[in-house]
């Protein structure tokens, strides 16, 4: 017989590939268990570090001799900028993994990270311009660093919009993975070109951004906030991946219903 069904039409369970570390997480149930274990730790570290950082930054560290209290915004501003860039790098890496190994977890990491990264970028832009008003007398200047940050924000928005535009989550994930990689190639170019463009026209503005050597008492809250933000990112990542897995199950139930 040329055409044959396997026994009684029941689906054969695909064999689980074991041994490779990557596949240790290849099973959503196992991932969810891991996520449940990570959750309290991430939440705890985030809460402790951020609260400690805020207390230190607002009340303990002495005011700046030049800027008064306004500079305290740096404790949000700088870690947010770092996270914005780190998260984009993670998205690009997981995008490469998604395209090469086609692993669903890599897909999910990208989708779950993007809004968090966009939020940190936005926080950086917001705190920066809030700070800029007292310092520079204007909310915004077309400075190199500011401009490349704004473009990073657009790259995030494009990623989110592209992902959301697909009905099929795996297609959305692969497409936005391609976009993340292209954007990652472009990101240093943007930074470089914008730097160059700016120095041609207005070399003066940048110097304001170059921090004077930071007082050692300011390092502690900065590091605390940075660690807190990282923990917060991990927390959001696991939470968002978990809810995405659940959302997909619901979606699949609906699809199964449609397919009868």
Partner 1 sequence: MVGPFLALIGRDLRLAFRGGIGSLVSVVFFVIASALFPLGVGPELTLLERIAPGVLWVCALLAAMLSLDRMFHDDHEDGSLEQIALGALPLELVALAKAIAHWLTTGLPLVLAAPVLAVLLNLSTEGFVVLIVSLLIGSPILSLIGSVGAALTVGLRRGGVLLSLLVLPLYVPVLIFGVGAVEAAIHGLGERSHLLILGGGLVGALVLAPFAAAAALRLALE
Partner 2 sequence: MNHESLARFEAEDLTCVRGGRRVFTGLSLSLGSGGALLLHGPNGTGKSSLLRILAGLLRPAGGRLLWNGTAVRDDPESHRARLHYVGHLDSLKPLMTPAETLTFFAATRAKPANAAAALAAFDLADLADLPGRYLSAGQKRRTALSRLIASPAPLWLLDEPTVTLDVESTAQLERLMAAHRAEGGMVIVATHTGIALEGAERLDLRAFQVGRRATPDSPGQVAATPDFEDETW
Ligand X SMILES: Nc1ncnc2c1ncn2[C@@H]1O[C@H](COP(=O)(O)OP(=O)(O)OP(=O)(O)O)[C@@H](O)[C@H]1O
Binding site for ligand HEM (CB under 6 A): 74, 77-78, 81-82, 124-125, 128-129, 131-132, 135, 145-146, 149, 208-209, 211
Least distance in angstroms from the C-beta of 99 to ligand HEM: 28
CB crowding 175-200: b at 16 or more within 10 Å, else e: bbbebbbebbeebeebbeebbeebee
* Torsion angle of C-alpha atoms 87, 90, 94, 95, degrees rounded to 10: 70
Confirm or reject binding of residue 99 to partner 1 (CB under 8 A). yes
CB-based contact 110:95 (threshold 8 Å): yes
Count the residues of the shown chain that bind ligand X, applying the rule CB under 6 A: 2
Least distance in angstroms from the C-beta of 220 to ligand X: 52
Using the structure block, give the residue that is written with the tokens 């990623």: 159
* Token pair listed for 144: 């190199």
86: exposed, middle or buried (C-beta count within 10 Å: 0-12, 13-18, 19+)? Answer: middle
Confirm or reject binding of residue 107 to partner 1 (CB under 8 A). no
Binds ligand X (CB under 6 A): choice among 18, 69, 259, 260? 259
* Closer residue to partner 2 (CB): 145 or 248: 248
Residue 157 contacts which entry, ligand HEM, partner 2, partner 1, none (Cβ below 5-8 A, type-dependent): partner 1
Residue 204 contacts which entry, partner 1, ligand X, partner 2, none (Cβ below 5-8 A, type-dependent): none
Least distance in angstroms from the C-beta of 79 to partner 2: 31
Count the residues of the shown chain that bind partner 1, applying the rule CB under 8 A: 42
Least distance in angstroms from the C-beta of 1 to ligand X: 22
**Could you say which residues in the range 147-186 bind ligand X, by CB under 6 A?**
168
Q: What DSSP line would sit under 123-167, residue for residue?
A: HHHHHHHHHHHHHHSSS----HHHHHHHHHHHHHHHHHHHHHH-S
* Torsion angle of C-alpha atoms 250, 256, 259, 260, degrees rounded to 10: -130
Residue 209 contacts which entry, ligand X, ligand HEM, partner 2, none (Cβ below 5-8 A, type-dependent): ligand HEM
Confirm or reject binding of residue 257 to ligand X (CB under 6 A). no
CB crowding 208-220: b at 16 or more within 10 Å, else e: eeeeeeeeeebee
Confirm or reject binding of residue 256 to ligand X (CB under 6 A). no
Give the residue from 62, 70, 40, 45 showing the smallest Cα distance to 223.
45
Residue 74 contacts which entry, partner 1, ligand HEM, ligand X, none (Cβ below 5-8 A, type-dependent): ligand HEM
The residues binding ligand X (CB under 6 A) are: 168, 259
């Amino acid at each position: 017989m040329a055409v044959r069904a396997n026994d009684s039409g029941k689906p054969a369970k695909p064999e689980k590939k074991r041994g490779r570390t990557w596949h240790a997480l290849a099973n959503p149930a196992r991932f969810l268990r891991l996520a449940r274990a990570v959750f309290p730790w991430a939440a705890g570290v985030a809460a402790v570090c951020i609260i400690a950082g805020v207390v230190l930054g607002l009340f303990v560290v002495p005011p700046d001799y030049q800027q008064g209290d306004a500079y305290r915004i740096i404790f949000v501003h700088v870690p947010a900028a770092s996270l914005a860039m780190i998260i984009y790098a993670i998205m690009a890496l997981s995008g490469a993994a998604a395209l090469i190994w086609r692993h669903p977890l890599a897909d999910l990491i990208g989708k779950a990270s993007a809004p968090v990264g966009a939020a940190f970028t936005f926080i950086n832009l917001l705190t920066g311009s809030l700070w800029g008003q007292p310092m520079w007398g204007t909310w915004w200047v077309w400075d190199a660093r500011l401009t490349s940050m704004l473009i990073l924000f657009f790259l995030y928005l494009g990623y989110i919009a592209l992902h959301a535009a697909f009905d099929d989550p795996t297609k959305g994930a692969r497409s936005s993975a391609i976009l993340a990689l292209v954007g990652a190639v472009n990101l240093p170019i943007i930074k470089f070109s914008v730097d160059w463009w700016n120095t041609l026209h207005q070399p003066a503005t940048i110097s304001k951004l170059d921090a004077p050597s930071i007082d050692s008492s300011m390092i502690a809250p900065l590091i605390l906030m940075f660690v807190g933000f990282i923990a917060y990112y991990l927390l959001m990542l696991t939470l968002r991946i978990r809810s995405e897995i659940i959302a997909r199950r619901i979606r699949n139930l609906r699809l199964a219903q449609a397919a009868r």
